[in-house]
Every structure is written in structure tokens, then in C-alpha cells.
């Protein structure tokens, strides 16, 4: 239990004791007043009796009455003195208790103030220690972060260089393979052209021979046009460019019409549904659009 609670309980006990004593004194005063009233009544009654006795010459009764009145006055005086002494004693006890309570409260307040001051000192000390600890940790983190940043920069630069070198090497390999492929295609087409021309010549010779034997004028087959390699490659590149343009058209159409189906793009774009489906799947796989059920939305 804290000191403030103890002081509060002590003050409550003192006040309750004070109220009890005041109530007891009030009861005594009330009883004294009632007793005095009774004595006054008896005094009147006895005065009447005394007058009657004096009229009859009862001197003894007068003496007895005087003695009784003396006793009553003495009792009243003693009672008054006792009540005064009791009140003075109570007042002194009340003052002593009030002084003791005041001193106890002052001492308790002083102790609490000292304890609070000591506690605040400890808290400030702990705060300073925490601030110093945090400052040191922040410095360590900053130093470590700087070192890590330098290492990451070096690693990133090395990674970028490696990626650039790998990409350049990959592009070189792709170009080399493409050149080989172009050379193979060229050789193949040239060989095919030569074989086709030979076959055509042999066929025409055979037809002419057969016609000559039958006496019929031979019909020479129209020469089959064989495209050069360069023309075939240019046609392939043109087809790829048209495909890129079509992809852009499909993306633009989806951006203007979110939630569109593949079949809904067939008539506006003038492209068959199969081609549109392949393009839609391609741009979906590349992450250029998103799909919910069979509806396409722009990102």
C-alpha cells in the first residue's frame, strides 16, 4: 500500500474519531440539559412544597431543601467542570493528531519528492545511455552501409559488364548463325534453282522428242520463276514488320476497348480470328495485356 493511501486512511480514521467524540459530547450536553430541566422542575415543585411547609412552620424541610440545592449546585458545577475538561482534552488530542498528521504528510511528500527526483535522474541517465547506444549503432550501420554500397556498386558494375559481354557474345553468335543460315539457304535455293532448271530442260527435251516422234508441235512449259535469296529474305522481314504493326493495332484496340474478346476485334481490324488469337496469346505471354476468362484488358 502506498504512503498516500496510508495517509488517506489515517485522515479518515481521525475524522471518524473526531465525529464520534463530537457526537458523544453532544449526547452528554443533551443529557445534562435534560437533567437540569428535571432539576428545575423538581426545584419548582420543592419550592411550592417549601412555601407550603413554611406556611406550616416546617423549618427542617427548608434546611433539607437548602442542603439539597447545595448538593445540586455542586453536582452541576462538577459536571460542568468535567465537561469542560473533557472538551479541552479532546481539543488537545485533536490538535496533536492534526500536527502529527501534518508532519507525517509533509514527511511522506518529501520522501515521494526525493524518490521522484531519484527516479527522474535514473530515467535521464538511461535515456543518455540509450541515445549513446543508438548513435553508435547508427554510425556502425552507416559505415557498414557505405562498405556494402561500395561492394554492391562493384558487383553491379561487374554484373553489368558481364551481361553486356554475354549479350554481345550472344548477338555475335546469333549473327554468325544467321549468316550461316543465310548461306545455307542461299546454297539450297541456288541448288534448287539449278536442279529445277535442269529438270525443266530435261522435261522440255523429253516433250520435244516425244512430240517429234508423234509429229506434234511441242508445247514448251512456262518457265518457273525462282526468287532470289535476297528477295525471299526481304519478303520474310516485311512479313515480320507487318506482324509487329498488327500487334500494335491489337494493343491499341484493347486499350480503347477494355474487356474485349478476340472475336470482337476480327471485323474492326479486318484480320481473321486465328491470327488475332495468336497475336493476343503472344502479347499476353509478353505481359503487355492481362486476361480474365476470355476478355482482354490493358495493363
Range of the domain at 92: 3-135
Per-residue pLDDT at 55: 64
Contact in structure between 283 and 243 (CB atoms under 8 Å): no
For 296, phi then psi, to 5°, come to -110, 135
Contact in structure between 287 and 280 (CB atoms under 8 Å): no
229 class by beta-carbon count within 10 Å (0-12 exposed, 13-18 middle, 19+ buried): middle
Residue where one domain finishes, among candidates 135, 152, 170: 135
Q: Which region among 18-27, 55-64, 259-268 has the lowest average model confidence (pLDDT)? A: 55-64
The answer to whether residue 202 is domain-embedded is no
* Segment 148-160, tens digit of pLDDT: 778 877 887 887 7
Contact in structure between 298 and 255 (CB atoms under 8 Å): yes
The pTM of this model reads 0.25
Contact in structure between 18 and 80 (CB atoms under 8 Å): no
The answer to whether residue 204 is domain-embedded is no
Please tell me what DSSP assigns to residue 286. Answer: T
Max Cα distance, the chain (Å): 211
Per-residue pLDDT at 226: 44
289: CATH: 1.10.10.10
Q: How confident is the model over 250-269, as a mean pLDDT?
A: 91
Model confidence at 260: pLDDT above 80: yes
Q: Which region among 8-22, 29-43, 106-120, 220-234 has the lowest average model confidence (pLDDT)? A: 220-234
Nearest CA to 282 among 270, 254, 167?
Answer: 254
The answer to whether residue 207 is domain-embedded is no
Which residues contact residue 295 at a Cβ distance below 8 angstroms, ignoring those fewer than 6 apart? 259, 260, 261
C-alpha separations of 255 from 252, 282, 287 in Å? 5, 16, 14
Look up cell 435534560; give the residue. 34
Please tell me what DSSP assigns to residue 216. Answer: -
Residue where one domain finishes, among candidates 110, 135, 160: 135
What is the rounded CA–CA span in Å between residue 235 and residue 209? 39
Per-residue pLDDT at 2: 67
The answer to whether residue 270 is domain-embedded is yes
Report percent pLDDT > 70 for the chain: 83
Return the C-alpha torsion angle 275, 280, 286, 287, nearest 10: 170
Which residues contact residue 212 at a Cβ distance below 8 angstroms, ignoring those fewer than 6 apart? 218
pLDDT band at 235 (very low <50, low <70, confident <90, very high): very low
Contact in structure between 211 and 218 (CB atoms under 8 Å): yes
Question: How many independent structural domains does the chain possess?
Answer: 2
The answer to whether residue 166 is domain-embedded is no
The answer to whether residue 145 is domain-embedded is no
Per-residue pLDDT at 233: 42
pLDDT band at 49 (very low <50, low <70, confident <90, very high): confident
| Shared domain check, 126 and 8 | yes
What is the rounded CA–CA span in Å between residue 190 and residue 228? 8
Residue where one domain finishes, among candidates 102, 135, 168: 135
The answer to whether residue 78 is domain-embedded is yes
Model confidence at 234: pLDDT above 50: no
The answer to whether residue 101 is domain-embedded is yes
H or E element in which residue 167 lies: helix 59-214
Amino acid at each position: 500500500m502506498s504512503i498516500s493511501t496510508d495517509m488517506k486512511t489515517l485522515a479518515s480514521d481521525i475524522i471518524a474519531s473526531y465525529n464520534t467524540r463530537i457526537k458523544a459530547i453532544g449526547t452528554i450536553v443533551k443529557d445534562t440539559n435534560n437533567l437540569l430541566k428535571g432539576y428545575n422542575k423538581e426545584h419548582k415543585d420543592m419550592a411550592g412544597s417549601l412555601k407550603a411547609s413554611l406556611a406550616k412552620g416546617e423549618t427542617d424541610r427548608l434546611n433539607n431543601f437548602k442542603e439539597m440545592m447545595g448538593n445540586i449546585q455542586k453536582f452541576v458545577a462538577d459536571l460542568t467542570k468535567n465537561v469542560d475538561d473533557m472538551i479541552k482534552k479532546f481539543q488537545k488530542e485533536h490538535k496533536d493528531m492534526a500536527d502529527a498528521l501534518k508532519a507525517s504528510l509533509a514527511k511522506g511528500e518529501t520522501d515521494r519528492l526525493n524518490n521522484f527526483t531519484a527516479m527522474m535522474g535514473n530515467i535521464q541517465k538511461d535515456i543518455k545511455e540509450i541515445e549513446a547506444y543508438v548513435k553508435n549503432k547508427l554510425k556502425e550501420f552507416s559505415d557498414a552501409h557505405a562498405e556494402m554500397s561500395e561492394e554492391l556498386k562493384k558487383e553491379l558494375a561487374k554484373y553489368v559488364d558481364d551481361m553486356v559481354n554475354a549479350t554481345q557474345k550472344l548477338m555475335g553468335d546469333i549473327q554468325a548463325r544467321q549468316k550461316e543460315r543465310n548461306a545455307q539457304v542461299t546454297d539450297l535455293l541456288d541448288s534448287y534453282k539449278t536442279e529445277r532448271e535442269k529438270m525443266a530442260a530435261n522435261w522440255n527435251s523429253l516433250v520435244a522428242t516425244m512430240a517429234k516422234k508423234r509429229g506434234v508441235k511441242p508445247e514448251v512449259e512456262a518457265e518457273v520463276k525462282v526468287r532470289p535469296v535476297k528477295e525471299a529474305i526481304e519478303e520474310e522481314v516485311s512479313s515480320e514488320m507487318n506482324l509487329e504493326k498488327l500487334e500494335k493495332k491489337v494493343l491499341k484496340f484493347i486499350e480503347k476497348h477494355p474487356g474485349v474478346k478476340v472475336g470482337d476485334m476480327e471485323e474492326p481490324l479486318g484480320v481473321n480470328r486465328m491470327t488475332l488469337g495468336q497475336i493476343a496469346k503472344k502479347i499476353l505471354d509478353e505481359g503487355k495485356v492481362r486476361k480474365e476468362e476470355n476478355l482482354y484488358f490493358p495493363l
